[in-house]
Structure 1
Amino acid sequence: MSHTNIRPVRGRLSAPQGAALYIGAVLGTGVITFPALAAEAAGPASLLAWLGLVILSVPLAATFAALGARYPDAGGVSTYARLAFGERTAAVVGWCFYCAVPPGASAAALFGGAYVSSALGGGRTTTAVTAMALMAVVTAFNAVGLQMTGRVQLALAALLVLLLLVAVGLSLPHARMDNLQPFAPHGWTAIGSASVLLVWSFAGWEAITHLAAEFRRPTRDLPRAAGAAVVVVGVLYLAVAFAVVAVLGSAAADTDAPLGDLMAKGFGGNARLLAAAAAVLLTLGTMNAYYAGAAKLGAALGRDGALPSWLTRGSMVGEAPRRSLGVVSGLAFVVLLAVVTTDAGVEPLVLLANGSFVAVYAIGVAAAVRLLPRRSKGRAAALAALVAVVALLAMSGRYLVWPLVVRGAALVYLRISGRRGTAEPTRRADTAADVGERTLSP
């Protein structure tokens, strides 16, 4: 039988849709809350933390884009860890990301809900109901399939970028350079504390790797999408952070809705409804990207034996991983219910997610150093990113407790399920390379 008529299965995501997914995953809820939290931690010197993490994003995004283009697989960082270090490490990093999404999604939904309750009233009830509605909408989007996800994300990204640019542009005439003094009221070491806090705002460069095989041409589209997203995210984060500090001054540390206050300065009067609309768009974008990536990852982990095989359906290109999506969504609702009933607040959720993201970054970048060709731009980016991620690990401290707990659970599962991972990594490496070649062939 001739193979000339066999056409490779291609994804449907375009470079613009991929850039929108990146923007949604990285920009997200960080821009509606964390400029104020960072200003509280380090004062105007928090701008240096923002700048440092924007600079870090360049090699980090380039590293994961290079990995995704070379090994387009739903397992994402888990696949790269398998090829570089073996099955156990792959299971650990996969579990770390998969278990970070439910608490992270709950925190994101509550951030968006807080803006709505600020605009409409109703306190905790409005916040909780809005958070549940956001989760339900994102679950429905992803249940339809990735083609719908890409189109929705592109529209959301365009709207939120426009809204943020308008808010910053109209508020900047009210900026005062006096608000930048004293520049480091809490000392220079506070920049490190602000940087660790801001990891939440820059997590996401690894999330789209789980969707690499869904791109039409991963080798071309994924780097383009990542490059465009780095520019957009960097400019917007720095612009919003500067506007919050220079326009709001000392009040920036006391507000729960800095974007709303900026809009009030720019538009005049009460801009809370507009701020709530922006917060909802940003929250939808973040959750949409993470639900899509985590659902694909869960299916890949089921396929590879790191999670129950029941989750495998949806791991192939073009398939909607509805079973894995149901698990992610269900866990997120459970976490949200626990937070609402105990009034624990979102800080514990942020700490859980941040620790996991730093651990995922560390393993993913280390895998890139081992997997990417020597003297390639991707490997050079990985070496630069590795230095920065090691510094983040050193500053993370207690944030790493959660990924250590998850690591233990993953290894226990592997032992109980009988997964040993001896010769499997080598075989998987060959298989992943073959799949990549078939996916990328014209």
Structure 2
Amino acid sequence: MRAGCHRQVPSSAVSLLRTKPVDQLTGDGDHTPLHRSLGLVPLIALSVGATLGTGIFVVLGQAAPVAGPAVAVSFVVAALAALFSALSYAELAGAVPVAGSAYSYTYATLGELVAWVCGWCLLLEYGVSVAAVAVGWSGYLNAFLDATLGVQLPAALSGEVVNLPAAVVVLLAMGVLLGGVKESAAVTTVTTALKVLVLLFFVVVAVFGFQTRNLTPFAPAGVAGITGAASLVFFSFIGFDAASTAGEEAKNPQRDLPRAIVISLAIVTVVYVLVALTAVGAAGVDVLTGSDASLAAVLRQLTDQAWPATILSAGAVVAIASVVLTVLYGQTRVLVAMSRDGLVPKVFSRVGVRRVPTANTVIVGVVVAVPAALVPLGQLAEATSIGTLVAFGLVNVGVVVLRRSRPDLPRGFRTPWVPVVPLLGLALCVLLVAGLAPVTWLAFGIWSVVGLVVYFAYGRRHSKLAPSPAQGE
């Protein structure tokens, strides 16, 4: 009787807590079929490219009416939450340099079920983020066509019924990824540099129209407005963790992944605060409100000329496309890790002749193109934020657990003041999650239930950590 009960334990509650040994994870990374071709600069470009633009080009118009002129402070609050989590990411990326990012880190520290939840949240984060950015890209494409050719896409095809350009840019990014990681990295580096130059151009122009009266009242909704907007613009910082998904394609992951994560977050934060502050100071909150191409609207009002907005829109059309490219890349690599562990079908980890997961990339590209074409921007941004915050919170916990369980593990970077910094990161994630709308929680709840059904129906039985009888089921 006791023996029978003992045999059932691995397939029941205890099996949900099984962890994947760190040595096994790093062994997977050492024998990866992916191509190790990325140095520090491409990794920084990957993280900055995945991050910079998602909020400033797209979400600023959604957040400004919530916080008022204090939206610049909202970016700082969100950056602090991101910083604590970024330090945790940096340590785990150096200690466990594999493709799965937060999913793999939680698998090594908190167990299979938590890792599945984290991976499922990452799929929400990356997939919905790509769709949201693609919708913003569509808005800037319309602004660019209007400024240069005097035409706009039919409303029915650009968001009123279906957003065709948003779907098209996702499929174009899919095509670039199929060309190979080295080629994709070269495209990302060029477009990221262009993006920074375009935003600096905006700051220079906006400074000349800056008026302090546009900053009063500074925080009309008080602290609640600032934190509420911070919950929304936190979406702008997802992407700094993109470098961690390249753990198996970095030349020196232990050294370069932590550096890329911290440096990219610093670059992005400075640019975001400068652009948000000058945008509000130059044009006021009303001009920003509700526009998917809010920065172009600021320049049109400020200069009363078409060419500055045309330059910005042209840069945004190219630059935001790079966000779609890099975040789509991150999602495919998370699926590679989950597939290799047996939690999702093997097709997602099969690598083609160009040493990229071909079928995985095609499936993800096509699936993500659908919400990009059909779902409004605001709902996409908030759904992305909640998935991101859950994943970040788990990474912070993972640092504390791994410090206790494997203090001997070589680390390319060590988070300072553990456990204080990771626990502060966790607390800020909880605070920002609490600020999201009830409808976002409802959508996340439905997503989570679907994820648990998939795990118990497929993932748990096919897990590589399951005992032999379970594997044969």
- TM-score where L is the length of structure 2: 0.80
Structure 1 residue 393 and structure 2 residue 433: aligned?
A: yes
Note the C-alpha offset of 1:397.
5.3
Moved more, 140-149 or 198-207: 198-207
Question: SS at 2:265's partner residue?
Answer: helix
After superposition, the C-alpha distances for 1:267-288 in whole angstroms (9 at most, x for unaligned) are 6511343232122233212111
Structure 1 residue 367 and structure 2 residue 379: aligned?
A: no
After superposition, the C-alpha distances for 1:132-188 in whole angstroms (9 at most, x for unaligned) are 331122101111121112111111111110111011112201101111111122333
Distance, in Å, in 1 between the alignment partners of 2:311 and 2:338 is 40
Structure 1 residue 57 and structure 2 residue 97: aligned?
A: no
Query: Map of 1:68-79 to 2, 5 A cutoff?
Result: 68-79=93-104
Q: 2:268 aligns with which of 233, 239, 249?
A: 233
Aligned to 2:130: 105
Q: Given residue 424 of structure 1, which amino acid in structure 2 is its aligned partner? A: L
Question: SS at 1:44's partner residue?
Answer: helix
Structure 1 residue 356 and structure 2 residue 387: aligned?
A: yes
Q: 2:109 aligns with which of 81, 84, 107?
A: 84
Aligned to 1:48: 73
Aligned to 1:22: 47
Distance, in Å, in 2 between the alignment partners of 1:330 and 1:422 is 26
Q: Given residue 119 of structure 1, which amino acid in structure 2 is its aligned partner? A: F
Question: Contact 2:341–2:463 (CA<8 Å) still a contact in 1?
Answer: no
Query: Map of 1:199-218 to 2, 5 A cutoff?
Result: 199-218=234-253
Structure 1 residue 293 and structure 2 residue 333: aligned?
A: no
Question: Contact 2:341–2:464 (CA<8 Å) still a contact in 1?
Answer: no
Q: Given residue 292 of structure 1, which amino acid in structure 2 is its aligned partner? A: Y
Question: Contact 1:28–1:201 (CA<8 Å) still a contact in 2?
Answer: yes
Q: 1:311 aligns with which of 321, 344, 348?
A: 348
Question: Contact 2:287–2:298 (CA<8 Å) still a contact in 1?
Answer: no
Q: 1:326 aligns with which of 357, 362, 372?
A: 362
Note the C-alpha offset of 1:421.
9.3
Q: 1:31 aligns with which of 42, 56, 62?
A: 56
Query: Map of 1:160-175 to 2, 5 A cutoff?
Result: 160-175=195-210
Q: 1:116 aligns with which of 138, 141, 156?
A: 141
Aligned to 2:3: none
Question: Contact 1:355–1:402 (CA<8 Å) still a contact in 2?
Answer: no
After superposition, the C-alpha distances for 1:317-340 in whole angstroms (9 at most, x for unaligned) are x83112211121111122234x1x
Query: Map of 1:142-181 to 2, 5 A cutoff?
Result: 142-181=177-216
Note the C-alpha offset of 1:53.
1.6
Note the C-alpha offset of 1:354.
1.9
RMSD (CA atoms): 2.7
After superposition, the C-alpha distances for 1:338-382 in whole angstroms (9 at most, x for unaligned) are x1xxxx522222232222111111222211221246694354542
Pair 372,217 (structure 1): closer, same or farther in 2 beyond 3 Å: farther
Aligned to 2:311: 274
Q: Given residue 59 of structure 2, which amino acid in structure 1 is its aligned partner? A: F
- Structure 1: stretches of 5+ with no match in the other structure: 1-6, 427-442
After superposition, the C-alpha distances for 1:366-404 in whole angstroms (9 at most, x for unaligned) are 112212466943545423322211222332353333343
Distance, in Å, in 1 between the alignment partners of 2:118 and 2:232 is 21
Question: Contact 1:146–1:320 (CA<8 Å) still a contact in 2?
Answer: yes
Aligned to 2:452: 411
Pair 252,425 (structure 1): closer, same or farther in 2 beyond 3 Å: farther
Query: Map of 1:337-356 to 2, 5 A cutoff?
Result: 337=373, 339=374, 345-356=376-387
Moved more, 47-56 or 407-416: 407-416
Structure 1 residue 197 and structure 2 residue 232: aligned?
A: yes
Question: SS at 1:408's partner residue?
Answer: helix
After superposition, the C-alpha distances for 1:198-248 in whole angstroms (9 at most, x for unaligned) are 121112233332112211111211122123212210111001100111000
Pair 205,250 (structure 1): closer, same or farther in 2 beyond 3 Å: closer
Q: Given residue 254 of structure 1, which amino acid in structure 2 is its aligned partner? A: T
Question: SS at 1:213's partner residue?
Answer: coil
Moved more, 398-407 or 55-64: 398-407
Aligned to 2:423: 383
Pair 143,169 (structure 1): closer, same or farther in 2 beyond 3 Å: same
Note the C-alpha offset of 1:300.
1.5
Note the C-alpha offset of 1:315.
10
Q: Given residue 159 of structure 1, which amino acid in structure 2 is its aligned partner? A: L
Count of residues in Structure 1 that have an aligned counterpart in Structure 2: 414
Aligned to 1:437: none
Moved more, 142-151 or 206-215: 206-215
Distance, in Å, in 1 between the alignment partners of 2:463 and 2:310 is 57
- Structure 2: stretches of 5+ with no match in the other structure: 1-29, 146-151, 408-412, 468-473
Question: Contact 2:88–2:396 (CA<8 Å) still a contact in 1?
Answer: yes
After superposition, the C-alpha distances for 1:408-442 in whole angstroms (9 at most, x for unaligned) are 2333223223726999399xxxxxxxxxxxxxxxx
Distance, in Å, in 1 between the alignment partners of 2:352 and 2:437 is 35
Question: Contact 1:299–1:314 (CA<8 Å) still a contact in 2?
Answer: no
Distance, in Å, in 2 between the alignment partners of 1:425 and 1:281 is 46
Aligned to 1:243: 278
Pair 406,206 (structure 1): closer, same or farther in 2 beyond 3 Å: farther
Question: Contact 1:28–1:285 (CA<8 Å) still a contact in 2?
Answer: no
- TM-score where L is the length of structure 1: 0.86
Pair 69,189 (structure 1): closer, same or farther in 2 beyond 3 Å: same
Moved more, 41-50 or 373-382: 373-382
Distance, in Å, in 2 between the alignment partners of 1:192 and 1:248 is 23
Question: SS at 2:208's partner residue?
Answer: helix
Aligned to 1:429: none
Q: Given residue 360 of structure 2, which amino acid in structure 1 is its aligned partner? A: S
Question: Contact 2:92–2:105 (CA<8 Å) still a contact in 1?
Answer: yes
Aligned to 1:435: none
Question: SS at 2:436's partner residue?
Answer: helix
Distance, in Å, in 2 between the alignment partners of 1:311 and 1:423 is 15
Moved more, 395-404 or 185-194: 395-404
After superposition, the C-alpha distances for 1:18-62 in whole angstroms (9 at most, x for unaligned) are 111111222232111322322211111222211112233322222
Question: SS at 1:12's partner residue?
Answer: coil
